Structure formats: structure tokens, C-alpha cells
């Protein structure tokens, strides 16, 4: 029986990837190279430090640990400045309606995100009070595809792993869900999420009862 939904943040509840991209691109440009949108796809769902290390490798830039840390801090300051301007308008289609249906059905809601800025973003867009538990980049030490973030999410909700469904937009996130013994709804396409149990372009028009029936069949 499904008793909890664990939501990823970026790409599922809001599209913060565009702001991460702008801030990383500026950092790369300041260092004398560029990154494009195709490269940016690899950064979705992975931690800040894993992201900066991949970007520096891409630009063939070698820096000390301290310099890398300082650059990541500067990138984050630029990112935070942008996400602080976000509004509820940026919540992705169908999410508010899905939350209403989940609450009505008595299904708990948790966040399972790699972002250390997740609580700040949820406050800014007015979604924070909808969550029964929040597990973010501040409370996990291992990045997806490690299942830690979702295992902690189920634990925070007081639920067994198999009672939880993960909602993800990243391949590594779906892998993390499966390693945690949970089914995953992928937001995207069959091409980028071939491993998801159910794939939806978004939650627009989704009827929870039917979705749960499909998940239980799978
Ligand atoms: P921060 P998610 C992830 O969010 C982003 O997809 C990823 O691009 C970012 O590097 C990561 O959060 C860490 O974010 O710098 O804010 O701590 O998809 O796990 O919700
Ligand atoms: Mg994501």
C-alpha cells in the first residue's frame, strides 16, 4: 500500500536547473571556457561539489581544494540571488493539484533533493508547509544514485521503503529509488528515463487514484 510520496525538487517541483546553468556558465566563462546546455544535462541531480569538479574537468582547469571551494561559494551566491526572485508561478504544472489529492488521500509528502538550498526555495515559492518531512543536501552525505536521500525520507515519514513512491527527473534519481526498494515515477521521456516505472511529461491533469492503480499494476 502506498503511504508516502518522495519528491525530488529540481525538475519535478520547479525548474531550478536554468538558474544553476546560468551561474555555472558564468563561472566557466570567468575561467576562460564555456559550457553548453547539452553538458549541463549531466549536472542535473548531482551535488554542488560533484558539479564543479565535472565543470573544471571539462575546461581542463586544475585548482586547489580551497580555490574550488571558494568558486563553489561564489556560484552559490549568484544562484541564490536568482532563486530568491522565484514565485509560486514557477511551480511546475499539476503539482499544487497533486498535493491536494495526496492530502485528501492521507498520503504523506516528503522532499528528497540533493540541493542545500531546497528549504529556502520551498519557502520562496510558498510550498514548504505542504511537506511532512524534508531531506536535502544538508542531511545526506552520498549523492544519487546512492539511495541515502530516499531511505532517510521514508524514515522521516515513519514509513517502510516499499510504502513510498519516488518522483524524479534524473536517471540517477530513479536508480537511487530502485536501490532503496521504491518505485519511481519519472518526469520526462522514455529516452531520458528508460528506468522509470511510470513516465509522465508532467502532473498536469493527473488523477491520483488512477496513477496509484497504474503503480500497483507495474
Ligand atoms: P545546491 P535535485 C539538485 O537538485 C540539482 O539538480 C543539481 O543540479 C544541483 O547541483 C544539486 O541539487 C545541488 O544543489 O547547489 O543548491 O546544493 O534535482 O536533487 O532537487
Ligand atoms: Mg532533479
Each of the 218 residues of the chain gets a pLDDT tens digit; together they read: 999 999 999 999 999 999 999 999 999 999 999 999 999 988 988 899 999 999 999 999 999 999 999 999 999 999 999 999 999 999 999 999 999 999 999 999 999 999 999 999 999 999 999 999 999 999 999 989 999 999 999 999 999 999 999 999 999 999 999 999 999 999 999 998 999 999 999 999 999 999 999 999 87
Q: What pTM, to 2 d.p., does this model score?
A: 0.95
Mutate to test the pocket of ligand 1, among 14, 15, 20 (most ligand atoms within 8 A of CB): 20
Residue 218: per-residue pLDDT: 76
Q: How far, in Å, from the CA of 53 to the mean position of ligand 1? A: 14
CA 10–ligand 1 middle distance (angstroms): 7
Half-sphere exposure of 110 (CA within 13 A, CB side): 25
Which ligand 1 atom is nearest residue 149's CA? 19
**Residue 197 falls in the annotated catalytic set:** no
Q: DSSP string covering 87-156, please?
A: -GGGBPTTHHHHHHHHHHTT-EEEEE-S-TTHHHHHHHTT-GGG-SEEE-TTT-SS-TTSTHHHHHHHHH
- Given this model, what pLDDT does residue 217 score? 87
Give the list of residues 6+ apart from residue 36 with CB closer than 8 angstroms, or none: none
Q: What is the pLDDT of residue 116?
A: 97
Q: DSSP character for 29?
A: H
CA dist 200 and 122 (Å) reads 23
What atom in ligand 1 is closest to the CA of residue 9? 20
* Beta carbons within 10 angstroms of residue 129's beta carbon: 7
Residue 102 cell numbers, joined: 495526496
Q: Which domains does the chain have, with CATH numbers?
A: 4-15+88-217 (3.40.50.1000), 17-83 (1.10.150.240)
Ligand at minimal distance from the CA of 111 is 1
Sheet holding 183-187, edge to edge: 133-135, 108-112, 4-7, 164-168, 183-187, 198-200
Which of ligand 1's atoms lies nearest the C-alpha of 144? 19
Active site residue 15: no
Question: Which cell numbers hold the place of 204?
Answer: 498536469
What are the residues whose beta carbons fall under 8 Å from the beta carbon of 78, sequence distance 6 or more?
Answer: 22, 23, 26, 27
Question: E-assigned strands of 14-113?
Answer: 108-112
Pocket of ligand 1 contains residue 199 by CB under 6 Å: no
Task: Answer whether 111 contacts ligand 1 (Cβ < 6 A).
Answer: no
CA of 45 to the centre of ligand 2 (A): 5
- Residue 38's pLDDT is what? 93
Amino acid at each position: 500500500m502506498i503511504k508516502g510520496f518522495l519528491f525530488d525538487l529540481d525538475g519535478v517541483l520547479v525548474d531550478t536547473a536554468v538558474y544553476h546553468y546560468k551561474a555555472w556558465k558564468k563561472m566557466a566563462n570567468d575561467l576562460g571556457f564555456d559550457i553548453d546546455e547539452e553538458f549541463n544535462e549531466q549536472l542535473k541531480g548531482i551535488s554542488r561539489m560533484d558539479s564543479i569538479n565535472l565543470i573544471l574537468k571539462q575546461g581542463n582547469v586544475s585548482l586547489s581544494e580551497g580555490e574550488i571551494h571558494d568558486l563553489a561559494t561564489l556560484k552559490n551566491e549568484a544562484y541564490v540571488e536568482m532563486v530568491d526572485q522565484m514565485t509560486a508561478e514557477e511551480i511546475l504544472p499539476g503539482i499544487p493539484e497533486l498535493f491536494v489529492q495526496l492530502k485528501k488521500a492521507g498520503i504523506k509528502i516528503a522532499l528528497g533533493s540533493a540541493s542545500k538550498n531546497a528549504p529556502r526555495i520551498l519557502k520562496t515559492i510558498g510550498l514548504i508547509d505542504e511537506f511532512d518531512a524534508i531531506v536535502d543536501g544538508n542531511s545526506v552525505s552520498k549523492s544519487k544514485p546512492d539511495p541515502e536521500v530516499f531511505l532517510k525520507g521514508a524514515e522521516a515519514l515513519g514509513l517502510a521503503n516499499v510504502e513510498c513512491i519516488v518522483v524524479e527527473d534524473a536517471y540517477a534519481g530513479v536508480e537511487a529509488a530502485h536501490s532503496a526498494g521504491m518505485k519511481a515515477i519519472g518526469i520526462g521521456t522514455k529516452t531520458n528515463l528508460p528506468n522509470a516505472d511510470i513516465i509522465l511529461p508532467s502532473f498536469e491533469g493527473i488523477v491520483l487514484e488512477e496513477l496509484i492503480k497504474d503503480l500497483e499494476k507495474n
